[in-house]
């Protein structure tokens, strides 16, 4: 738990410019492996040191399904980004492809188009952030998080 893939990824995340997380659809949800990974990864950044690895870094979710469950999976992954104040990079449509095999996905012309647009948009967002840093535009100042249980 202290020296595993989650912690190794988190260390690399500090240097990353942006992120794309993807999952096949299992029962209208992201894979258990991805959600367990993201639960630990993103929770570890909510501690007292503040969000440093993911704050204001662009992120995108990509999902693949044989038939259905894509929109709920897409929404599920995107929620990790919003809790860390990450800009969500969009495409021309929801970032999903269809097919039971890689060969079938290659036949999903609209899905592949969506992925190409997403790639261009992610590259643009990363370049914009670099241009902002070069121009001296600082990231917004973070506030100390306030956590309540809806009861005061």
- Kindly state whether residue 140 falls inside one of the protein's structural domains: no
* C-alpha span between 97 and 63 (Å, rounded): 7
- Kindly state whether residue 22 falls inside one of the protein's structural domains: yes
Residue in 28, 21, 90, 30 with CA at minimum distance from that of residue 62: 21
2-49 per-position pLDDT tens digit: 778 998 999 999 999 999 999 999 999 999 999 999 999 998 876 555
Q: Give the structural domain span for 81.
A: 5-134
- Kindly state whether residue 83 falls inside one of the protein's structural domains: yes
- Kindly state whether residue 60 falls inside one of the protein's structural domains: yes
Q: Average pLDDT of 101-121? A: 97
pLDDT at 147: 78
φ, ψ dihedrals at 33, nearest 5°: -60, -45
pLDDT, mean over the chain: 92
Give the CATH number, domain containing residue 13.
3.40.50.360
pTM, whole model, 2 decimals?
0.90
Question: In total, how many domains does the chain have?
Answer: 1
- Kindly state whether residue 146 falls inside one of the protein's structural domains: no
Phi-psi region of 133 (alpha: psi -120 to 50; beta: other; left: phi over 0): alpha
84-94 per-position pLDDT tens digit: 999 999 999 99
- Kindly state whether residue 31 falls inside one of the protein's structural domains: yes
- Kindly state whether residue 29 falls inside one of the protein's structural domains: yes
Q: Are 58 and 126 in contact (CB under 8 A)?
A: yes
- Kindly state whether residue 144 falls inside one of the protein's structural domains: no
């Amino acid at each position: 738990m202290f020296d595993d893939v989650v912690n190794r990824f988190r260390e690399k995340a500090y240097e990353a410019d942006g992120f794309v997380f993807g999952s096949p659809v299992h029962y209208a949800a992201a894979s258990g492996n991805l959600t367990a990974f993201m639960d630990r990864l993103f929770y570890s950044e909510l501690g007292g040191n503040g969000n440093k690895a993911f704050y204001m870094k662009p992120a995108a979710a990509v999902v693949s399904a044989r038939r259905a469950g894509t929109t709920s999976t897409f929404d599920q992954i995107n929620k990790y980004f919003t809790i860390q104040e990450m800009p969500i990079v969009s495409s021309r449509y929801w970032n999903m492809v269809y097919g039971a095999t890689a060969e079938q996905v290659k036949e999903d012309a609209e899905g592949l188009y969506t992925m190409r647009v997403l790639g261009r948009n992610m590259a643009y967002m990363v370049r914009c952030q670099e241009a902002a840093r070069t121009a001296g535009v600082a990231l917004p100042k973070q506030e100390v998080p306030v956590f309540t249980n809806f009861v005061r």
